[in-house]
Structure 1
């Protein structure tokens, strides 16, 4: 056997996505390069690792067993690298964070300085909806989660980072008349919602129910970016977090419609399980956030705080 670590990584990625094309995209390699490495790896075994049926790639049972072994080998190599950096007095390890969808506009700014300072730290950040974020925290799959609504069912610590402000927004092309009752918006235009499980959707539904507002029609989309583009196109109105529409406001594509009871204000919180034994990397990150939170907010979110 004379396989390389690179071949192991390529094979694992092919197993993960079950596609040479997708693997090449995620590894930032050409498709022929992935195919060559996969063939070289396969040539070292007399039993097939993969098979193609109806133009679709499948992993054989033997291939799945080899993938498990490859994963263990690469994990040990990673551990060696981390231990080497630790002996060189460098902070090293993984930082795992799950982030509610809109949090992708917030969390990177609180990570950038820390990651630059500690080059031995690897970051894994999963961006999804609130329900899955809480689930990943509950199952101890991550070190931290970023949420706008603290999950009351969990025993957690929290560190408040930034306000989360939600406004009624619409396309400037719709040219809502300032002298026209704003209730007409809800009577005459579709409302664009996030999918069930989204904190933004929950906040929007609670606001509409609390105000007993009429609803003409509902459009449901599965990401904030999709909602934003639908609003810009004039499909309807929505209640969205301010943090995600900075450029669209600046470019005049979207306008905020003043409405009684808005904005809805919550806070972005970094949360973690109280019983969790935090790694040195996680402990260092908490220390960094506490020290730099004010500076980061002033430097990166000055525009936001003025609204």
Structure 2
């Protein structure tokens, strides 16, 4: 057997997502690169690890057993690495964080300096929807989670990080046409929604309900990035977090439309289960945030804090 740790890690991501395409996106690799690594791993076994039925990838029972073995191997390798770092006098371990999809524009900036200070700490960050984020917290699968709306049914503690501002956004040409007309009736706009369970969708629906706006033209997409690209293409308008559209505003691809009652403001919160016993890595990270949070906001997000129409 000549399999590599890289092959095992890629295979585990395929098992998790049941998709080569999704695995490639999460691993920041090309689809052909993931396919090649899966093929190279498969070539070392006479029994199939996966199979394609229709257009869906399925993991075989044998593949599931190899996935279980792969998890144990990678866990042991990580443990050896961490033990080595500890013996050398460094803080080591794994930091597990789950974040909602729009949190990818926020969380890396609150992690970078800490991980540079502690090279023995590995990061595992799951970027997913709000439902899965809260489930991972509830089941104690992660140290922390980043959310923009606090959960109603979980006993958690939190540290507030920064404001989250949501504006009505449109394709520049379509937005300017509406602005030129002098009045905007959101009820008549084709509005693009996030999927159910999304905090962004929840904030958008709360705003529409509060202002008695009955939308007649609706579309639904399953990620903030998909919504953004659809708005850029002119498919419709959406209420979106300012934090995720900085480049598009600067490049004149998107335009914020002034509406009474907007922006909706929430707060990005890092949360954890009440009474959770932290690992040394998690405790060190929480201490880092408490002392460095304001400087990190000033260095990376002052434009967002100061932004006004």
Change (3 A) 1:64 1:293: same
Q: Does 1:177 align with 2:179?
A: yes
Which has the larger displacement, 138-147 or 16-25? 16-25
Shift of 1:24: 10
Shift of 1:69: 3.2
Tell me what 2:14 maps to: 17
CA displacement, residues 246-266 of structure 1 (integer Å, 9 cap, x when unaligned)? 011111121111111111111
Change (3 A) 1:37 1:206: closer
Tell me what 2:303 maps to: 303
- For structure 1, the residue ranges without an aligned partner over 5 or more in a row are none
Change (3 A) 1:247 1:67: closer
Q: Does 1:103 align with 2:103?
A: yes
Q: Answer with 1 or 2: which has the greater Rg.
A: 1
Q: Is the 8 A contact 2:42 2:48 kept in 1?
A: no
Count of residue pairs brought into register by the alignment? 297
Shift of 1:115: 1.1
Shift of 1:93: 1.0
Shift of 1:82: 0.7
Which has the larger displacement, 27-36 or 265-274? 27-36
Instruction: Measure the CA separation in 2 of the matches of 1:177 and 1:22.
Output: 40
Shift of 1:117: 1.1
Instruction: Measure the CA separation in 2 of the matches of 1:23 and 1:214.
Output: 35
Shift of 1:73: 3.1
Q: Is the 8 A contact 1:95 1:143 kept in 2?
A: yes
- For structure 2, the residue ranges without an aligned partner over 5 or more in a row are none
Q: Normalising by structure 2, report the TM-score.
A: 0.86
Q: Does 1:48 align with 2:47?
A: yes
1:199-214 maps to which residues of 2 (within 5 A)?
Answer: 199-214=199-214
Change (3 A) 1:251 1:216: same
CA displacement, residues 110-165 of structure 1 (integer Å, 9 cap, x when unaligned)? 00111111111111111112121111111111110000111131111100101001
1:194-273 maps to which residues of 2 (within 5 A)?
Answer: 194-273=194-273
Q: Normalising by structure 1, report the TM-score.
A: 0.86
Which has the larger displacement, 263-272 or 87-96? 87-96
Tell me what 1:167 maps to: 167
Q: Is the 8 A contact 2:131 2:197 kept in 1?
A: yes
Instruction: Measure the CA separation in 1 of the matches of 2:246 and 2:291.
Output: 26
